[in-house]
Structure 1
Amino acid sequence: MPHFTSTVDELHRYAPEVDEPDDFDEFWRDTLAEASAVPVLADVRPEPTDLRLLDSWDVTFAGFGGEPVRAWYTRPAGVREPLPAVVEYAGYGRGRGLPHERLTWPVAGYAHLLMDNRGQAGQYGAGDTPDPHGAPGGPWPVTWGILDPRNYHYRRLITDAVRAVEAARALPGVAADRISVVGNSQGGGIALAVAGLVDDLSAVLSTAPFLCDMRRAVQSTEPAPYGEIARYLAVHRQAEEAVWRTLSYVEAVSFARRATAPAQFGVGRRDTVCPPRTAFAAYNHYGAANGRPVPPEREMHVYPFNGHEGGEAVHVRRQLRWLDSVLHPARAGR
């Protein structure tokens, strides 16, 4: 397939125009204003984990519509000063799991908030945040409410993700002016969406991102989640125009154009789930609409023989070193 055989040079030139509705900014401004009317932190309680070097809390915050969203907050034990925070978004079909399942960022010395995916848990990981909205659409999360952008599942999930940043800033022990967002696959697409909606992030780390160049992705790849949209359209043939319109409001390329924070990307060139061309569409447009004469710092790591797993531990090491260099530039030179 062409998007797997493109050279790296061709990928770096791939900057397609995507569908963007005229009221894109107004849609998200109104959505987030409605959510922000509710105080963000609902409950924070210590969570026993048997991990003596880390402290964890079970957090509930108000997401879309003021609805409760669960998260784990974890940080190094015994550290009193406020720490830079990493807000992490999970992949498709995953929930927040248990607090000891994702320890890279707190072990590296960061405050870490891992957001649950509303309604998605059960395919690859446990979660406990429901999505109590019924709307016409298919049986999979990516098709819930897909006929109307106001009813779409990802309108709610992206709103939750923005509110997770607000929740992190309100938590004790967090340096509120040093918040970064990170995610792989669906989490990578959500991180890009937050980057376009929150203008004072410290950094964005997005690996194999979903939600990018979505029309072309649905038309060119078979695995879920994009394949689930194609399977929905194979049955609901008359819904195509409505589906493309809805997806245009959650297109990560549009969010990436509005981003202002430094960003690091990673892709596997043999990725059939989130094809590398789609990630480059977001990378090549990143920061283009922010009004700055110089776009924000960004870098891309390509793993030629890897698929959706990307660079795995090698890439995580690069993420750790890159984020440290962004937050502590003087230290990066040593």
Structure 2
Amino acid sequence: MPAFDLPLDALRRHRPELDEPADFDAFWAATLHAAEHPEPLIRARPADNGLRLVESWDVTFRGFAGDPVHAWYSRPAGAPQLLPGVVEFAGYGRGRGLPHERLTWANAGYAHLLMDNRGQGDQYGNGGATPDPHAQAPGGPGPIVRGLLDPYDHHYRRLITDAVCAVAALRALPGVDRDRVAAAGNSQGGGVALAVAGLVPDLAAALVTAPLLCGIRRALDLTDAGPYGEIAAYLAVHRGAESAAYRTLSYVEGASFARRAQAPAHFGVGLRDTVCPPSGAFAAYHRYGELTGQDPEREIHAYPFNGHEGGDAVHVRRQLAWLRGILESAAV
């Protein structure tokens, strides 16, 4: 697939206007306040991952509406000291899978929490374990269109709230340096990590790759691939629902979360990505931190001949080096 979005020189200047609701901050403040709990963890049980150099725990924490959300907690075996942490968010339709699947962050010396996606896990990977008991509002079968006609019913209100609660859960686990916790994700996970950066003011860092939910209106005009195609298919049947859908999606727009973020951020994007068009990532990158009165450290890496896979392992290597520098300087 040849490049289909803006050319790189235009992306480097791409800072579109936002259709941001006036009550965006009030909406999220009320949502997160309702999810606050003095004990974020429900339980953490040792899990047999079949490995010798990494230890894992099966974690359950309180998410949206106090619902139990599952996660895998992993760390280098026998590490005696407090470790910086990484909360990772999985891609669209994927669950947490099995505890031995995602080992990069633990092997790099971090305390790693991989959050399950509520109501997902059936499209690829090795499954999930967290139902979504609130998914009864009108909408299509895919997560992105569940509750699409009302921001209070939308699936991503619940998933993003879970993600904020996951940061609190990791900080409550033993052996974690709560002052050095980063959020990371790719695709849907990248969009969720960006939302967490905008909602958790003391986050240490954000690693955002090929983010979903960024530049949503433009993405709907550009592509029918992936989750955006599910929105288009829903609106093709429910003619006249566009205004309600666009209003709901404005409350989960990644560029709006980016405006409120303070943590250093590392972005990655493939310029031939038809699933999450690169203009969305650049829109969030250029607006990152603009409402904070600060200029957070940030960088973006573009891969001109790659699609949704972006820089793949090359980009992960860049992430590892960057995050090490960020968290080591935070420890001084």
TM-score band, normalised by the shorter chain? over 0.9
2:240 aligned residue (233, 238, 241): 238
Q: Which runs of 4+ in 1 moved over 3 A?
A: none
| CA contact 1:186–1:209 (8 Å) conserved in 2 | yes
Q: CA RMSD in A?
A: 1.5
What do residues 43-99 of structure 1 show as CA deviations (whole Å, max 9, x unaligned)? 110001120101100000000000000000000011111100000000000000001
Kept in 2, the 8 Å contact 1:219–1:230? The answer is: no
Contact 2:96 2:117 in 1 (8 A): yes
Distance 2:45 2:115 in 1: 15
CA distance in 2: counterparts of 1:16 and 1:190, whole angstroms: 21
For residues 124-135 of structure 1, what are the structure 2 equivalents within 5 Å?
124-125=124-125, 126-133=127-134, 134-135=136-137
Which secondary structure state, in structure 1, belongs to the residue aligned with residue 87 of structure 2?
Answer: strand
Of 156, 159, 165, which residue of structure 2 is paired with 1:157?
Answer: 159
Where does residue 89 of structure 1 map in the other structure?
Answer: 89
Task: Give the distance between the partners of 1:173 and 1:283, measured in 2 at CA.
Answer: 32
275 and 5 in structure 1: CA distance in 2 versus 1, 3 angstrom threshold: closer
> 2: CA distance between counterparts of 1:45 and 1:321?
31
Aligned residues: 329
CA contact (8 A) 1:193 1:255 kept: yes
Shift of 1:204: 0.4
Deviation digits for residues 137-191 of structure 1, max 9, x if unmatched?
1111110001100000000000000000000000000000000000000000000
CA distance in 1, matches of 2:65, 2:169: 15
Matches of 1:2 and 1:25 in 2, distance apart?
38
Give aligned-pair identity as a percent. 67
Amino acid in structure 1 at the alignment position of 2:247 = R
Shift of 1:207: 0.4
User: Which structure 1 residue ranges, 5 or more long, are not aligned?
Assistant: none
Residue type matched to 1:84 in 2? P
- Aligned to 1:130, the other structure's residue is in SS state coil
**Structure 1 counterpart SS, 2:17:** coil
Match of 2:199 in 1: 197
SS state at 2:4 partner: helix
Equivalence for 1:259: 261
Residues 87-144 of structure 1 deviation map (CA, whole Å, 9 limit, x = unaligned): 0000000000001000000000000000000001110121010001110111111100
Alpha carbons 1:3, 1:275 under 8 Å: kept: no
1:38/1:62 contact within 8 Å kept:
no
> Using the alignment, how far apart are the partners of 1:241 and 1:95 within structure 2?
31
